[in-house]
Amino acid sequence: MTTGSQECHHITEQCYNGCQPGYRGEDCTLNCQNGTYGDGCSKLCNKRHCKGSQHCYHITGQCTDGCQPGYRGYDCILKCQNGTYGDICSELCNKRHCRGSQDCHHISGQCYNGCTTGYTGEDCRWHCLNGTYGDRCSKLCNKRHCTGSQECHHITGQCTDGCKPGYRGEDCTVECPDGFYGAGCQKNCNNRKCLKNSTCDHVTGECIGGCSVGYSPTILDCTQGCSKKCSDRKCNDNLNCNSKTGECIDGCQPGFQSIDCSYGNNIVLVLQPIKNI
């Protein structure tokens, strides 16, 4: 087997221009040996990246079962190119969601600076999984304070129906700022009528020490006036007025009853002297 000129020495049969790929010897009749193949038997079979069978054809070095991920060509010695990587170079580098450097490893497609928010995996192609979202998929969907739908966007964790009272932000994980509470953080702590200088719970705005006189203690944030007036009671002593019950501590005036002496009994007692018999 010869390449180029077919001139043949009459004694040695030497091929003057050398052998075709895969052959050796002075007369180019011997196959490549010792794990070599190709032009001048210069390529090493063990430098290929074959999948499965490692059989090495002496001419092309073809990998009969194809190439390992990241390699291409008959003999699987060429790296993926033109922005591709992975098995049979079928993955596209521009489909990844890498942070910073867009360098693309020809085998794994690894993002060297990690993934953009909401993505995971060595090549950053997968949405956050298992109830996670956000940067490095480090936030938990079940730690949000959403009202209604619990759907969890893999990037933002957005609460599509808004936040429960006391929370704000796209993912409803941020408490109301100091001085505000309730739904949408719209209520001002300074507008409460607390009996004492109470702390302000970011959810309910509860007055820990109770409400000022004239405001309903059944409303945690003391923002609703009482429906009954202490002055309307018929107490023996109208000075003391329990803010919750309106109880008359010293009892009721004649003809009135109930704990706050607000109900007349409509009974008139007529006292007559007792006659001597």
CA distance 261 to 126: 71
For the chain, the average pLDDT equals: 88
Q: Do 40 and 68 form a contact (C-beta atoms < 8 A)?
A: no
Q: Do 3 and 23 form a contact (C-beta atoms < 8 A)?
A: no
- In this prediction, residue 136 carries a pLDDT of 94
Where along the chain do its domains lie? 1-77, 80-127, 177-227, 233-277
114-152 per-position pLDDT tens digit: 999 999 999 999 999 999 999 999 999 999 999 999 999
CA distance 150 to 168: 15
Beta bridge partners of residue 146, listed in sequence order: 163
What percentage of the chain exceeds 70 in pLDDT?
89
As a whole number, mean pLDDT of residues 38-62 equals: 96
Query: pLDDT band at residue 275, thresholds of 50, 70 and 90?
Result: low
Inform me whether the pLDDT recorded for 185 exceeds 80: yes
Tokens of 70: 């990241």
Tokens of 182: 């309730």
As a whole number, mean pLDDT of residues 41-63 equals: 96
- In this prediction, residue 6 carries a pLDDT of 56
What 8-state DSSP symbol labels residue 46?
G
Q: Do 26 and 41 form a contact (C-beta atoms < 8 A)?
A: no
- In this prediction, residue 1 carries a pLDDT of 43
208-265 per-position pLDDT tens digit: 888 887 788 778 999 887 777 777 888 887 677 776 777 888 889 888 888 888 887 7
> Hey, what amino acid is at 43?
K
- In this prediction, residue 216 carries a pLDDT of 80
Q: Confirm whether pTM is higher than 0.75.
A: no
Least reliable range by pLDDT among 65-79, 177-191, 194-208? 194-208
CA distances from 146 to 139, 143, 151, 168, 179 (A): 14, 9, 9, 10, 22
Decide which of 2 and 65 is more confident: 65
